[in-house]
Structure 1
């Protein structure tokens, strides 16, 4: 019955797209904390998406490309200092039916080229075993260049956690940018993004935004990747849900981050010697 309902939904979405009728994704009530300003609003035809509300993040899953087009979560200082060890428990999302989701087999044979790249990172969820496990659902992944995922994208994730201590609580959003043609991997044809965007909203409503190409990118200064709201919106194809009054044209400033102080606090909290 679940599969039939899901397929019927896709048919309705296809019919609406055919006739140009607007259809806007919505954030489930249970996940409003994770996306307090709602869902993005596509400027063209919205792709068929499924809203997936997990305990600590919400994702709008692209039901064609089989990766999330939008992920949002809240990040507090307490959560940034979680102490659970990483447990790689990658799994297909149980809230999506087989045939309409990425599977583990889709990523096999791509080691060293594409990682199962987290959109909402595991290290933001080391405060609870269930939410950490849910971060490994493939609906929270996309094929990310290995030396982006492990280098500069990781750097951005690390700095964001440091900001959670000094500028939080934060709301973090990210997702893919699609090229004119889309490469796919696996039997299920999982889409490979051309680039990724990330937006961080701090406790005062200020924003920092970044775009990184889906290619090997050395770990270092984030300044070359800082962009404006308008640049992210143009590249992603939708209007971002943001607090009122945000300047959408100014290139964002990369806020200071004391990584050494953050690591010391982490070691003390987790009693790491």
Structure 2
């Protein structure tokens, strides 16, 4: 699928004490040119807000009070990353009426679940801190967040190390009548993730129900980029030429890399 996109590059919240540690993500934003290298393979959807951070890009749906997608490039790790920041806070780049806050999660069932993973995005303090903006969170069951989803996050870093560079795309999926927490924050019914290897031009895709699931069950939820696009209304890898895009997007693996 192809369409023209308009990228609005927005600088993230400045955090003092940034350092030059080189871990997985590198500085992919060029404010002077308006380019966002986390979107070099295409913008998945022209969402209400398209934001480019140091370590990831995000498309936010105001009505859902949720990101529809995140996109980030992971390189091979060359040194330890910075410590986890844990500074959850509202995203001031989201219009105030559509922001979520940590207070929305003051209920007994769901945790604040990252879409762009904080352990993967740990090159600098600022990059890691920006993963704790609430626009990057969805209400997630601990038995999903700390099990199958965490297992997949571990694999994305392993594949980046093994392959040298990968693109990670991820997001939530909602039913027509989702559950809500806090101030009308919807709970996803499923999650998707696509990991693309640009050197080999191959992708692995997952659509995972939002249930308490184990990492060992990941093979049950292998999908294709085509299925992810059709199910969630996305256009992934749109910068590839038509032949390469069609070939990559129809891939459906029987087992993981």
1:126-165 to structure 2, matched below 5 A, reads 126-165=122-161
The DSSP-based 3-state class of the residue aligned with 2:119 is: helix
Pairwise CA distance, 1:85: 2.1
In structure 2, distance between residues paired with 1:205 and 1:105:
42
The DSSP-based 3-state class of the residue aligned with 2:81 is: coil
Correspondent of 1:37 among 41, 54, 62 = 41
Write 1 or 2 for the structure with the bigger share of helix: 1
Equivalent position of 1:97 in the other structure: 95
In the alignment, does 2:7 pair up with 1:26? yes
In the alignment, does 2:160 pair up with 1:194? no
Q: Structure 1 pair 126/37, CA: closer, same or farther in 2 (3 Å)?
A: closer
Q: Structure 1 pair 191/25, CA: closer, same or farther in 2 (3 Å)?
A: farther
Contact 1:116 1:141 in 2 (8 A): yes
In structure 2, distance between residues paired with 1:185 and 1:222:
27
The DSSP-based 3-state class of the residue aligned with 1:122 is: coil
Equivalent position of 2:253 in the other structure: 252
The DSSP-based 3-state class of the residue aligned with 2:207 is: strand
Equivalent position of 2:25 in the other structure: none
Equivalent position of 1:72 in the other structure: 71
In structure 2, distance between residues paired with 1:180 and 1:142:
17
The DSSP-based 3-state class of the residue aligned with 1:71 is: strand
Pairwise CA distance, 1:55: 1.0
C-alpha RMSD over aligned residues: 2.2
Aligned residues: 226
Contact 1:210 1:227 in 2 (8 A): yes
In structure 2, distance between residues paired with 1:176 and 1:139:
12
Q: Structure 1 pair 168/221, CA: closer, same or farther in 2 (3 Å)?
A: farther
Equivalent position of 2:105 in the other structure: 107
Pairwise CA distance, 1:222: 2.2
Pairwise CA distance, 1:255: 4.1
In structure 2, distance between residues paired with 1:124 and 1:96:
24
Pairwise CA distance, 1:180: 2.1
Structure 1 runs not aligned, ≥5 long: 1-21, 257-273
Pairwise CA distance, 1:63: 0.6
Contact 2:85 2:125 in 1 (8 A): no
Query: Which stretch shifts more, 240-249 or 95-104?
Result: 240-249
CA offsets, 1:19-63, max 9 Å, x none? xxx99663636452101122124xxxx7x6111111111101111
Contact 2:192 2:208 in 1 (8 A): yes
In structure 2, distance between residues paired with 1:239 and 1:96:
23
In structure 2, distance between residues paired with 1:226 and 1:97:
35
1:161-180 to structure 2, matched below 5 A, reads 161-180=157-176
